[in-house]
Amino acid sequence: MHTIIKDLNWRYATKKFDPLKKISPADFDTIKESLRLVPSSYGLQPLKFIIVTSTGLREKLHSSAYNQSQIVDASHLIIICSYRNINDTHVDEYIANVGATRNITPDTTKGYADFMKRTVNEMGEDQKLQWNKNQAYIALGQLMQTCATLKIDATPMEGFNTEAYDTLLDLHNQNLTASLVVPMGYRHIEDQTQHQKKVRKPLDDLFTTL
């Protein structure tokens, strides 16, 4: 069995974190760099990752997420935020980054830039937000696997008050909204969930070959 499968079987949505066990700076640097490398549509990376270290702020975020203890107990807390309304500026910034990284002139990428702008501008605001939220879920998938590989526990959460989070994190003014909440750290020895067998559909139910 490949180590990927062992790692993915090891992970589970941790219910209770050990508040005394902390992620090492080296491991957290790996997590951050892995999130930087997540692929995104057109490469636009319409995301922002907020790391919440303030105890007071974590208490408030806890109250606005059904008092789930992981938000205060986990070693680290990341809020994956999506841009609400991307526009020509985001495309221009990306194209400037392509130019600087690959040392090419803007005329080389003008056709692609125009194509991206047309696509972005043809979408309504809701559609753009949804597109950017999709990217948050790609990041989540990779983050779960990176954590499992590093033997770090993580509990992805959709169940929180988005409006309250956007206010507490001052996201409105930054054209952002909170998409996903991910407490990370180490399972508490008392968390009985770790002993439960993982429930998944059988392969035959999930895969079809045509």
Interaction residues for its own copies, span 47-86 (CB under 8 A): 47-54, 57
Cβ pair 140, 180 in contact under 8 A: yes
43: region left, alpha or beta (phi > 0 left; psi from -120 to 50 alpha) = left
Is 164 a binding residue for its own copies by CB under 8 A? The answer is: no
In terms of CB distance, is 107 or 207 closer to its own copies? 207
Is 34 a binding residue for its own copies by CB under 8 A? The answer is: yes
In terms of CB distance, is 53 or 67 closer to its own copies? 53
Q: How far is the CB of 145 from its own copies (least distance, A)?
A: 5
Is 199 a binding residue for its own copies by CB under 8 A? The answer is: yes
> CA-to-CA distance for 159 and 106, rounded, in angstroms?
43
Interaction residues for its own copies, span 98-137 (CB under 8 A): 98, 101-102, 130, 133-135, 137
Task: Choose among 84, 86, 55, 85: nearest CA to 72.
Answer: 55
The number of CA neighbours under 13 Å toward the Cβ of 208 is: 1
Beta bridge partners of 178: 81
Q: Which of 75, 82, 132, 146 binds its own copies (CB under 8 A)?
A: 146
Q: Report the b/e string of 27-39 with b at 16+ CB within 10 A.
A: bbebbeebbeebe
SS3 51: strand
Cβ pair 58, 153 in contact under 8 A: no
Neighbours of 75 (CB within 10 A): 20
Contact stretch for its own copies (CB under 8 A) within 16-24, 64-72, 97-105, 182-190: 97-105
Q: Which of 68, 69, 85, 149 binds its own copies (CB under 8 A)?
A: 149
What are 58's two structure tokens? Answer: 């974590």
How many residues in the shown chain lie near its own copies by CB under 8 A? 64
Is 194 a binding residue for its own copies by CB under 8 A? The answer is: no
Q: How far is the CB of 29 from its own copies (least distance, A)?
A: 9
Q: Which residues bind its own copies (CB under 8 A)?
A: 2, 4-5, 8-9, 11, 13, 30, 32-39, 41, 43, 45, 47-54, 57, 94, 97-98, 101-102, 130, 133-135, 137-146, 149-150, 156, 158, 169, 196-201, 203, 206-210
